[in-house]
Amino acid sequence: MTTTATPTASRDSPFTVSDVATASGVAPSAVRFYEKHGLVTAVRTAGDQRRFDDSAACRIKVAKVAQRVGLTVREIADVFAALPADPQPEDWGRVADVLVAEAEARTAALRSHLGEMRSGAKLCDIDERRESPAR
Amino acid sequence: MTTTATPTASRDSPFTVSDVATASGVAPSAVRFYEKHGLVTAVRTAGDQRRFDDSAACRIKVAKVAQRVGLTVREIADVFAALPADPQPEDWGRVADVLVAEAEARTAALRSHLGEMRSGAKLCDIDERRESPAR
DNA sequence: CTCCGCGTTGAACGTATGTTGAGGTCAAGC
DNA sequence: GCTTGACCTCAACATACGTTCAACGCGGAG
């Protein structure tokens, strides 16, 4: 079993920065940025180049959609932290549940706040009207 | 009816920056920032001070919740542009519909994207695997 | 009249999210 | 061996969203 050192950076993670960038529809600079912030992880080749596995493009695509509902890169990375290496559909399912739940919670807050306004116009006014009685 | 020059900055808009800030729960600097970006409008007193009407705090409260679902200040201001002066509950209702619709559209996009992933694991992989056969 | 407090402006700073460019390395082809 | 292109790092810049600070004005209490 000591046959070779199992070159991790070649068998498991064949994708370069630009591979991932193309596949996920973002710029290479963004891929590096996301790696720096823990949204995706990479191993390094002997020449110090990043190599990503195929879940990287997936993470980034999801992140872009999640950002649209108000999640920060940090928050998304935290959710992704629950993902194992080589995530299966059910792993993605759990992540999906968390992200959608968060999005719906925020939408519910919006709806609730707006609902108050619809029912009572005064709910949004500034209470304290210390308008002088002089005219 | 030409009794006085109807001093707009006193009768319609009695609230100062700090009034609005307190009522809406943001810092005075934020209120000025929002005015600069068209989220709220103000008239000026003779001494060049801002005076807001009572819808200002309302707009800001709504904006803060709308930001949580990923809307930018610009986008929110655009939606608010449909509001008349002294908005009635039904005016707020229309704004609410637009904002909630946008939030739900974004959540739907998230859900849809994640749903694809749950059903087929390969949907998110990088198609082109040009792994050289040489080991 | 002076001082206090609130208002004004503009610039600088700070975080989040990236992009761009300079300067250097590495592997492949002629 | 030299060029070419993709990669590396690090720093500067850019935009959105604010906060903080310095310098100044104005209006009422003593």
pLDDT tens for each residue of chain A, 135 residues long: 443 334 444 566 789 999 999 999 999 999 999 999 999 999 999 999 999 998 999 999 999 999 999 999 999 999 999 999 888 888 888 999 999 999 999 999 999 988 877 776 565 666 544 443 333
Query: Which of the 37-66 residues on chain B come under 7 Å of nucleic strand C at their beta carbon?
Result: 48-50
Rounded Cα–Cα distance for residues B119 and A93 (Å): 9
Structure tokens at B14: 């009695």
User: CB neighbours of B4 closer than 8 A, spacing ≥ 6?
Assistant: none
Query: How far does B6 lie from chain A, in Å, by closest CA?
Result: 12
Q: Is the CB of A10 under 7 A from strand C?
A: no
- pLDDT score at A127: 57
Q: Is the CB of A59 under 7 A from strand D?
A: no
Give residue B125's pLDDT band: very low, low, confident or very high (50, 70, 90).
Answer: low
Question: Which of A84-88, A122-126, B105-109, B127-131 has the highest mean predicted lDDT (pLDDT)?
Answer: B105-109
CB atoms within 10 A of CB B24: 24
Query: Which of the 25-44 residues on chain A come under 7 Å of nucleic strand C at their beta carbon?
Result: 26-27, 29-30, 33, 37
List bases, strand D, within 7 Å of protein CB: 6-9, 16-21, 26-27
The least confident of A68-77, B45-54, B69-78 is B45-54
Q: Is the CB of A19 under 7 A from strand D?
A: yes
Buried b (16+ CB within 10 A) or exposed e, B41-79: bbeeeeeeebbbbbbbbbbbbbbbbbbbbbbebeebbeb
Instruction: For chain A, state the CA radius of gyration.
Output: 23
User: Is residue B101 pLDDT above 90, yes or no?
Assistant: yes
Alpha helix positions (H), chain B: 8-11, 17-24, 28-36, 55-68, 73-80, 89-119
